[in-house]
Amino acid sequence: MIYTLKYPSHPIERVNQVVFEFLRNSIPVCAYSRNLFPEWFRDVMSNSKAQAGNKSFEDKFIDLHTEFQKLTIANRQSLFDEFDAGLDIKSLCEEKTKAVILSENYAADLHAALKAVLKDHFYGTALGTNKTIQDKLGTTLRNHYTNFKTLNNSGRVCPFCGLHEYALIDGEAKDDYDHWLYKSKYPLYAVNFSNLVPMCDKCNQGGVKGTADVLHNDDGTRRESFYPYESNQGVQLSVNNFSDVGSLSDEEKEKYPYGYYKLDVVEQDPTEAEKVETWKSVFKIETRFNSYLSSHNKQVKDDFHEDYLPDHPEFTLSNNITTLRVIVSAFRNQLGNPRRKTGVLINKAYLEFICAVGNEYMLYTFCNINLAQAI
């Protein structure tokens, strides 16, 4: 990750108490009743109405209770214990040996019932629109996002990619919440707000994070993952290769008219190597970073000539390579904070690359120095 988010403690977190008490109270053999829920939530159920032929919120909880009761008491207890232990999402991300609750392993119909009531209805509909829930909690989902913005006001840029900004301006639609443990596979955590994190729409879409499983590799083995609200040492970027436009295919030439750059993205702390690899895999980091630099490096050059140099008359470009390195390095050092400006780490890696010994021709080109005159 580019940086760590701060977790906004908020009254809306109480919705996870509903899941906790409902499951715990349903472990013994029992009939469905509203007493299975926390007291504040019982009015939500009593006001539940079916709409347009769909089952009501309460009907879906009744279906869940029916499926849960089909398990043996031992399995009900086991499922609840795994759920209880997994309330701490951070521990699931950092401890590969810790059991991860997979309701589909208990019963397919139970898993489907959990998705229907927790993923689709509770998270998908009720949190945003149910007035009884909002009145009981004295808050809204929008208010939670506002608190997130306030607490993380130094971070305008999505920490998962560093390429796009959050929607932080009043009047704009809020960014979607991502379920760090995605809700179709882990529906029991669908309304656990320690599992919810605002994420830019590019990262949250299918093909990037989407339904990627941060806890398992493609072969199903457990892996370590960053937890978005836990501090980490970050990553270091460096350009490791450049292919000039003449060596690219016709299709690549259209996309990358200034050549193609490849970056290395490595952990700052060796103990976080596996977490970094998970992040890179889930968010397609290397592909996206390489594409960004290869598409946007001309903009960095334009910023240097059109904005930076006019504001710094003390710098004069010349054929002296040492002088050019000093000037471009000074430009690199003022690119800004990656929390507040997109592409900063990538652009810094690019400028460091063109200033390196052996890449003098790139530096001359960047500075608009005629190569024949420079030589």
Residue 117 lies in a domain: yes
Q: What is the per-residue pLDDT for 175?
A: 63
For the chain, percent of residues with pLDDT exceeding 90:
73
* pTM confidence score: 0.89
The amino acid that residue 41 corresponds to is F
Which of 21-25, 246-250, 264-268 has the weakest average pLDDT? 246-250
pLDDT number for residue 335: 95
Whether 225 maps to a domain, the answer reads no
Q: Is the pLDDT of residue 358 over 80?
A: yes
Looking at every residue in the chain, the average pLDDT score rounds to 91
For 167-201, how does the pLDDT look when each residue is reduced to its tens digit (9 = 90+)?
765 655 566 788 999 999 999 999 999 999 988 88
Residues 193 and 286 occupy one common structural domain: no
Q: Is residue 124 domain-shared with residue 19, that is, in the same domain?
A: yes
Q: Are residues 59 and 164 in the same domain?
A: yes
Question: Could you tell me if residue 329 is inside a domain?
Answer: yes
C-alpha triplet 47, 17, 140: angle, nearest 5°:
60
Residues 274 and 344 in one domain: yes
Residue 191 domain-assigned (yes or no): yes
User: Is 178 within 8 Å of 197 (Cβ atoms)?
Assistant: yes
Tell me: do 262 and 369 sit in the same domain: yes
Whether residue 36 is contained in a domain is answered as: yes
Domain co-membership, 61 together with 180: yes
195 shares its domain with 264: no
Q: What is the pLDDT of residue 174?
A: 60
Closest CA to 36 of 61, 7, 73: 61
Domain boundary at 204, 224, 258, which? 204
Range of the domain at 334: 235-374
CA distance 129 to 152: 25
- Asked if residue 372 has pLDDT above 80, the reply is no
User: Which positions ≥6 away from 14 have C-beta within 8 Å?
Assistant: 38, 40, 137
Co-location of 244 and 325 in the same domain: yes
Q: What pLDDT does 145 receive?
A: 86
Largest alpha-carbon pair distance within the chain?
88
**Residue with token string 């929008």:** 142
pLDDT reading at 208 higher than 90? no
Q: Kindly tell me if the per-residue pLDDT of 260 is higher than 80.
A: yes
If asked whether residues 118 and 199 sit together in one domain, one would say yes
Contact (CB, 8 A) for 263 and 286: yes
Domain end residue (candidates: 204, 223, 253): 204
| 159 and 33 both lie in a single domain | yes
Q: How many domains does the chain have?
A: 2
User: What token pair was written down for 186?
Assistant: 């882990």
User: Would 338 be classed as within a structural domain?
Assistant: yes
Residue 215 has pLDDT above 60, yes or no: yes
Domain presence at residue 6: no
pLDDT digits (tens, 9 = 90+) for 112-125: 999 999 999 999 99
* 27 and 138 belong to one structural domain: yes
Is residue 252 located within the same domain as residue 199? no
Q: pLDDT tens-digit profile of 328-349? A: 999 999 999 999 999 999 999 9
Q: Which of 289, 230, 263 is nearest to 90 (CA)?
A: 230
pLDDT in tens, 47-96: 988 876 789 999 999 999 999 999 999 999 999 998 898 888 999 999 98
Residue 213 lies in a domain: no
